[in-house]
Structure 1
Amino acid sequence: MLVRVMPRKSRSCSLSDIRTSMYFFNVNSSGRILNRFAKDIRTVDTDVPHTLLDCIAFAIDISGVLIIVAIANYWLLVPAAFIVAFLFLFRYIYVNTSRSVKRIESITRSPIYSLTNQTFQGLSTIRALQAESALDSEFHDYMNGNTCAWFLFISCTRAFALWSDFLCVLYIAAVTFSFLVLHNQFNSGDVGLAILHSMTMIGMCQWGMRQTAELENDMTSVERILEYTQQPPEPPLDTEPSKKPKGEWPSEGRIEFVDLKLRYSPKDSYVLKGLNFVIAPREKIGIVGRTGAGKSSIIQSLFRLACNEGAILVDGVDIESLGLHDLRSKISIIPQDPVLFSGTLRYNLDPMEERSDAEVWKALEDVELRAHVSTLIGGIACRMYDGGANFSVGQRQLVCLARAILRNNKILILDEATANVDPETDKLIQKTIRTKFAECTVLTIAHRLHTVMDSDRVLVMDAGQMVELGHPYELLQRPHGFLRQLAEHTGVAMTNLLMNAAEQSYEQKKKDL
């Protein structure tokens, strides 16, 4: 039964975490999750079955000893009852203490996993900044905390063993002296058998009671794993056949927000508060605002990464009626931190192998990476390290841009995509977006205001609400407008540059009309 149940629970834990919401990963560090999948699952898979079998063996052995002693002298059941009562009293104290200490030990282990994982990911930065000593000191602090908790747990175990031995010695003394007092009523064979089996109780009681306590402590790991198996899942991946949009969807890229509210969990406060606006097909929208204004939350609402209230209509279809796979596969995004996987460059560009090699090379040419990739061993079949470590930050961003070109979706989202790249790469990305995504609806979240000055309209967010929406030139003309205030915080010279760029874009659009 255990062989069948334990792997099933481990698999259930893995599937539940894969299908849970993004909020779960925001509030739980990678170290805490690794701790559950490493130490706790190992405990459930290996320790719990062995400990349970040991407890069963202990119950059988101790019952046999007590029966043999009772046959030799049934009066010895009286001290045996007292000894068992005291053993369970000590066990109760030990379990309550050790369980809390074990939980502390598990909690102090999670930061070690997190720090180790983060260190491996940032080795190049750590070496460049010569921060080895700081991280070494931080690692030792975490290790000291975990070691203290582990030492306290071992101390509790040894204290429990000492008192168990003391009680067993008292019982052996009671057995021995009872036969000395009543030596005429028993034969030597019964006496020897009773004393011999009583002496085996020293090791048996210490081992058996400790195993029963360990089993209860190991249930902490079972409890922690069950907590992960009960995480609320995301909505279904696939759309119900009756709700699938007809034809090619989306065909235009029109997005309508209807009284949209968003919060990251049912217990949290709203981060988006009643957004109402429409983005026309092929419109280029810039989204700006101070930190925490709710810019990125708009993107999360489009991908349904949080709890949406209200409605978002894409080409007239409410995205709440769609499966997550059908929705997310139709929206391209270039994030601030490019996401690349271990494997070939081609796999990163076209993981589903829906495009030909010629189309992949053409996409690389569009982002001016073809010449660089041609020099690599294997070309588009070259190996990429984890996270694309063998490419620069700008090149990784261009790879993501090429991937978006290959997807050819009607909606593109730029989540501060040019925040960490040099000005030349920024210009290249902006030029590619203007040419390759001219027929697409583009939403650009930006910290640098100049990146949205040529947008058709700019949406200004503040405290989760839309405070301004219009062409950047028109918004900058408002003396006390929010966009004007954001521009003035960059300085007089930059404000003038932004005004000139917005005016040129405004005049150009008037000519195009």
Structure 2
Amino acid sequence: MWPLQDSNKAATLASNYVSVYATHGKSLLRTFFAIYWVKLIVIAVMQLFTAACDLYGPAYVLQKVVRAVQQPVFDPIATSLLVLSLYGIQVVGAFVKAHMKFMNDVIGFQFGSSLRSMLFEKALKLNAKSKKEKSAGDIANLFSTDVNSVMEFATNMNLIWIVPVQIGIVLYLLYVLVGWAIFVGLAVVFVILVINAVVAIMLGKEQEILFQAKDNRMKVVNEVFGAIQIVKFNAWEEKFLDKLIELRLAEVVSIWKYMRYYLVLMMFMFTTPVLVTITIFATFTLWMQLSLTVEIVFSTLALFKSLQDALFGLPVIVMSTAQCFVSVKRINAVLLMDEFDPSDVQTPASNAALKAKYALDRTVLAIDQGSFGWHTPSDNTDSASKSNKKVEESSAYEDNAATVLFAGVNLTIQQGQFVVLHGAVGQGKSSLCAALLGEMRKLAGTVFVGGDVAYFAQQSWIQNATVRDNILFGKPFDAAKYASVVEACALTTDIAALPAGDRTEIGQKGINLSGGQKARMSLARACYSDADIFVLDSPLSAVDAIVQNEIFTKCFLGLLRYKTILLVTHSLDIIQSPHVHRTFLVQDGTVTESTPTHKRANSPRPISSVAPLHPPTAYWAVDSQDIVDDLVVTLPRYDDHKTLMPEEHETGTLVVEEGRAAGRVSKAVVIEYIGAIGGWWSMIVMLLLTLAVEAIKVGSDMWLSHWSNQSTSLSPADFRANTNHNILIYGILVLATCVATLMQISSVLVYGLRGAKKLFSEMLHSLLEAPMLFFDANPIGRVLNRFGDDILQVDMFIPFSFAPILVQTASIVAKIVTTIAITQWMGLLVLPLMAVYGFLGSYFLAPLREVNRIQKTTRSPLLSLVSEGIDGSTTIRAFGPKYLRRFNCIHDDLLEAFVGARFVAVASNQWFALRVELISCTIVFALLMGIVVMHDAISAGLIALVITYGLSIPANLAGLVNVWARMETALIAPERLYEYIQLTKEGERHTPLDAASTSWPTHGQVQFDQVSYRYKPTAPLVLQDVSFTVKGGEKVGVVGRTGAGKSSLMMSLFRMNDLAAGHIRIDGLDIADMGLHNLRSHLAIIPQNPVLFKGTLRNYLDPFVEYDDDQLWIALTKVQLADRIGADPDKLLGPVEENGENFSVGERQMLCMARALLRQAKIVILDEATAAIDHDTDQLLQQVVRSEFATSTVLTIAHRLDTVLDCDRILVFDQGRLVQNDTPAALVNAGTGIFFDLVTEGGYSLEKQL
């Protein structure tokens, strides 16, 4: 790939497009024409010139040559010069056409680049309301499908007017030949155009339905594979398989309806010439009582065949125009959606009066009479979603516009203060943080932020990058500061244990990190930013007591000693700490200061072992412009910090490079695809129908030759006497052509859709059964690319390319065979030229395949970045505008890699197309010179037929090149789909042991026997020689420092990977011998990071409809959510938004617990199940666990030790080994050991707890 010119780079194109877009009514099409109108006029002139070159042969040369051979004295020199002039004009036209198409293609990908850049920039700015209406899956679909539709239109838009112009010119020339008979033919054309127009309208409507069906499917695909671990934990693969198959079926029905309309267009495209010619000839002979001559017949035929290319483009024009208007509407709808409004938050730079006011008491965070609510959805939002929701997570929002979440809030925080927000679950702590960041809708009052902000979201957002890149977050590397941050965030030991240290790559959404590691890495990112103000939403909920104390001391009291901290926490130790300056209680829509009177005097924080970051520059001490200038930074390139040595890269890389086959698509893939569409019989049927169509067409042309020769061989009376017979035969042949064409195209579309259905189903099955190792190493963008663009290729592009390939190939072969049979040895001159054509084709297609594969693999990182960027948009925005610009820069870098491959493909296509045109011109020249030499041995009718065929061969060859290139691109899709279809399964879903153990498990005994476990074959062991037994019904706590192996214990129990050694038995049965569905469906888990799937609340709680409403309400009551859900008008039928974003994180954990209560599993795993819940609610839920799971085995993984101190036993892990196993009392009474340290450092009252 060569570097792109500046004029083709994404940033340049988008900047120009955005400025013009703003001044042209924010209309994408008006902006397009405003930017490219000069080039479009130049292209239009070139298009007219090439159209004239194409008509020169059939409109002038053919008639002249036919007249010349019919003259008593043949003039070979004049005829040869005529042929030579045709050759010269065609060669010039070929060069102009190639340059014109190249310009068109460049405009197309420039337009696409602009749209993608604008969409990504907009996606990062969407506010909460807009993000509800358009999910990450929707935006990804716009990127992969809708932008392609608009590009297709931009590339072919000149055909919209050139086809009618060509039709008009041809009709005039025909009028000169056949007189007013042409008006009858024109009436037929008019009827066909009206039918096409009606079909186009229907096509456009069906296109909208199809796109909506595709959107619905892609949303679920994004949800399922974005949370595939949760799906596997709950054995929901079959549930989501059924759901996706159902959505796919609706999509396939839409595709078939769409194809039926396309079939009508294709039908008329192939049959219009013969329908019009028979109408004209019948009128000319029967009504006008005139004789058909060779010149009239074949000039008419040649003129209509010259329209074949234009008519071939007619369905493409109609289809791409319909798709374009639908796609433009969808893209523009996103570009016009509501954005995050930074003006909701006042800064020293934006408001001098507030700067002066708050500078008096050094205030850096303030809310004055603030009222806030979450954004109101658009009118078309399902009424089920309009309920009163108090939510905690910043990505959630209040649907009811009449309800205000906060009213009359007053809050001021001075520089350097350490402030804590606390309150019960779901009261709005995270929402208050969102209000300070400008993410929440400000209804009244003022919000002031006096400095740069670093934000820690309640659910940690991790990039698919190295540990170092995640922490640096685009900032320059400072070794001393970096080391201090890593130590203060308690990451030193964790990083040392990673395969390549801080150069280790982190998987999608931090999939290869524990919850505590993700939290501390996100905290380190915030600390390294060296901001003035730190808004930290529950950063300590996922870490143990020792690590909590370490972070509190080294980070909050040390590294951030001079910074302003707003911390959200449930920890009573921190809330009551003497080092916290102020505390605020968030409750019932109010924010009340709860600081004890004796703490209101700001006391200095104690000295920590970690040196503090530099004190912030006070905004009152500098000019506002200085602050603004500080945000304008040089944006780093995406790979600036990737300086891995090869050996480091090998051990630290998690995400593998996306596979890309080499060479032509393998025979195995082709054979598999043929099997998917129906096997070899389907190929035989399509080939036989294609041969039948071409045989009938050649037969009808030969009959016309025979008919027209009668004008000279028979008397006028005999000729007229045979007219009815000749028209009848020709009419039968025309009818047969129409029927055969309909059958041929239908067979291709039907078989193609059958293959697409099968490939989708097989890939879906394979991915749902793939091991977690695969998803660790492959970002979701690759999966979305397969389900998006690659499925689109097999749905539409392969059938729509294969039908023309069959037709064009058969047409070329038929014409060449016919011309060789007529011209005999002179026609053999064509064969070497066809050999050159074949050689060039093989020479060209090999690199084209590789370029197309590169396009596919460079598209996946784009889709991954879109998904990742939308998920983290709140965090990115909180850090400031320069971070938004950085992500836009990263996107443009990735886009340019994709566009670079696209540019090479465009240039290569036109390089080859030009050479094909030159070969075609030479073939025509050879055939016509053969006629000059052999004119006295061939009848005038056959000479005219050879010329007609010869003149149409260039269009056939050029058309074949275009559709074959598209087919080559499209065939890479099944190759990529089969790559995923052939993935290794994680294990058998069902085994014979399942049937023999229908009542299993009866007791819930869990036995680990010398278990060793790792996440991938080459990775180090995360569990080493672990042995213990848990009795049925026993309550066991699992503790240990962060990263000790607690979550790995859970992963091994669910068989997320095969054991490296040892056995795990439940009630005496080895889980390795059990089906995965049976195993996982009998275990219940409440995960640390709960994920709720979009749908109704009832569907989430009871996905298989196994319980009645009363049982659901009982479960909700037990987890303290009955009042919250009961306040919703829709109650159990209320909506669960994507990722459960209309519930706080704590509420999501409580819903997971409600679902576990319903299942009443014999073995329950609580993985930090109450980490995001306040202390009082946690104690209530712990009582529920003890009473409701009294007979179940419960394994509780916890950092809050008060949740496990009343367990029967405690398992203590350290560095993957089981180091302690005893009752809590025994472990504490020992006076030493990890558990004793955790209890004492956590400040727990041992007598009270034990």
* Superposed displacement of residue 183, structure 1: 6.7
Aligned to 1:111, which of 851, 854, 861?
861
Aligned to 1:7, which of 750, 753, 757?
757
**What CA RMSD, in Å, does the superposition of the two structures yield over aligned residues?**
3.4
Instruction: Name whichever of 392-401 and 380-389 sits farther off.
Output: 380-389
SS for the counterpart of 2:1062 is strand
SS for the counterpart of 2:896 is helix
Aligned to 1:32, which of 768, 777, 782?
782
Q: Check the 8 A contact 1:450/1:498 in 2, yes or no.
A: no
SS for the counterpart of 2:1063 is strand
* Superposed displacement of residue 257, structure 1: 0.9
Q: Cα gap change, 1:332/1:168 in structure 2, threshold over 3 Å: closer, same or farther? A: same
Distance across 2 between alignment mates of 1:39 and 1:155: 22
Name the counterpart of 1:82.
Answer: 832
SS for the counterpart of 2:790 is helix
Q: Cα gap change, 1:355/1:8 in structure 2, threshold over 3 Å: closer, same or farther? A: closer
* Superposed displacement of residue 294, structure 1: 3.3
Letter in 2 for 1:383: P
* Superposed displacement of residue 450, structure 1: 5.9
SS for the counterpart of 1:205 is helix
Instruction: Name whichever of 262-271 and 392-401 sits farther off.
Output: 262-271
Q: Cα gap change, 1:162/1:419 in structure 2, threshold over 3 Å: closer, same or farther? A: farther
Aligned to 2:1143, which of 391, 408, 411?
391
Name the counterpart of 1:217.
Answer: 969
Q: Are residue 372 (structure 1) and residue 1124 (structure 2) matched? A: yes
Name the counterpart of 2:286.
Answer: none
Aligned to 1:303, which of 1029, 1054, 1058?
1054
Q: Check the 8 A contact 2:993/2:1073 in 1, yes or no.
A: no
Distance across 1 between alignment mates of 2:957 and 2:1034: 77
Instruction: Name whichever of 89-98 and 460-469 sits farther off.
Output: 460-469
Distance across 2 between alignment mates of 1:129 and 1:76: 76
Q: Check the 8 A contact 2:827/2:930 in 1, yes or no.
A: no
Name the counterpart of 1:286.
Answer: 1037
Name the counterpart of 1:496.
Answer: 1240
SS for the counterpart of 1:200 is helix
* Superposed displacement of residue 47, structure 1: 1.8
- 1:70-469 correspondence runs (5 A): 70-76=820-826, 79-118=829-868, 121=871, 133=885, 135-178=887-930, 192-238=944-990, 240=992, 244-245=996-997, 247=999, 249-264=1000-1015, 270-289=1021-1040, 292-308=1043-1059, 310-447=1062-1199, 451-469=1203-1221
Distance across 2 between alignment mates of 1:152 and 1:450: 63
Distance across 1 between alignment mates of 2:1086 and 2:934: 90
- TM-superposition CA deviations, 1:15-72 (whole Å, max 9, x none): 3323333333333322211211221122112222232222222222122222233234
Q: Check the 8 A contact 2:823/2:934 in 1, yes or no.
A: no
Letter in 1 for 2:1167: D
Instruction: Name whichever of 321-330 and 445-454 sits farther off.
Output: 445-454
Instruction: Name whichever of 200-209 and 124-133 sits farther off.
Output: 124-133
* Superposed displacement of residue 438, structure 1: 4.2
Q: Cα gap change, 1:128/1:65 in structure 2, threshold over 3 Å: closer, same or farther? A: same
Distance across 1 between alignment mates of 2:941 and 2:998: 91
* Superposed displacement of residue 127, structure 1: 6.2
SS for the counterpart of 2:1048 is helix
Distance across 2 between alignment mates of 1:10 and 1:392: 35
Distance across 1 between alignment mates of 2:773 and 2:1196: 23
Name the counterpart of 2:599.
Answer: none
Q: Check the 8 A contact 1:476/1:499 in 2, yes or no.
A: no
* Superposed displacement of residue 192, structure 1: 4.9
Q: Are residue 53 (structure 1) and residue 793 (structure 2) matched? A: no
Q: Check the 8 A contact 1:243/1:322 in 2, yes or no.
A: no
Gaps of 5+ in 1: 488-494, 509-513
* Superposed displacement of residue 154, structure 1: 2.1
Distance across 1 between alignment mates of 2:1155 and 2:816: 74
Q: Check the 8 A contact 1:364/1:399 in 2, yes or no.
A: yes
Letter in 2 for 1:103: R
Distance across 2 between alignment mates of 1:75 and 1:290: 89
* Superposed displacement of residue 408, structure 1: 2.0
Q: Check the 8 A contact 1:410/1:440 in 2, yes or no.
A: yes
Q: Percent identity?
A: 34
SS for the counterpart of 1:332 is strand
Q: Check the 8 A contact 1:244/1:322 in 2, yes or no.
A: no
Distance across 2 between alignment mates of 1:385 and 1:135: 26
Name the counterpart of 1:492.
Answer: none
SS for the counterpart of 1:211 is helix
Q: Check the 8 A contact 2:827/2:927 in 1, yes or no.
A: no
Q: Check the 8 A contact 2:1023/2:1048 in 1, yes or no.
A: yes
Q: Cα gap change, 1:271/1:166 in structure 2, threshold over 3 Å: closer, same or farther? A: farther
Q: Check the 8 A contact 1:259/1:310 in 2, yes or no.
A: yes
Distance across 2 between alignment mates of 1:264 and 1:223: 28
Q: Check the 8 A contact 1:458/1:469 in 2, yes or no.
A: yes
Aligned length: 497
Q: Cα gap change, 1:99/1:425 in structure 2, threshold over 3 Å: closer, same or farther? A: farther
Letter in 1 for 2:1196: T
Letter in 1 for 2:1032: P
Q: Check the 8 A contact 2:812/2:956 in 1, yes or no.
A: yes
Distance across 1 between alignment mates of 2:956 and 2:1105: 63
Distance across 1 between alignment mates of 2:862 and 2:974: 21
Q: Cα gap change, 1:20/1:331 in structure 2, threshold over 3 Å: closer, same or farther? A: same
SS for the counterpart of 1:459 is strand
- TM-superposition CA deviations, 1:244-292 (whole Å, max 9, x none): 3375x43332210123243445676654343221123333333344555
SS for the counterpart of 1:307 is coil
Aligned to 2:818, which of 46, 62, 68?
68
Gaps of 5+ in 2: 1-681, 683-750
Q: Check the 8 A contact 2:801/2:966 in 1, yes or no.
A: yes
Structure of higher CA gyration radius: 2
So what's the TM-score if we normalise by structure 1? 0.83
Distance across 2 between alignment mates of 1:152 and 1:479: 71
* Superposed displacement of residue 164, structure 1: 1.0
Q: Cα gap change, 1:119/1:187 in structure 2, threshold over 3 Å: closer, same or farther? A: same
Q: Check the 8 A contact 1:303/1:327 in 2, yes or no.
A: yes
Instruction: Name whichever of 419-428 and 206-215 sits farther off.
Output: 419-428
Instruction: Name whichever of 374-383 and 57-66 sits farther off.
Output: 374-383
Distance across 1 between alignment mates of 2:1169 and 2:995: 34
Q: Check the 8 A contact 2:782/2:860 in 1, yes or no.
A: yes
Distance across 2 between alignment mates of 1:500 and 1:336: 23
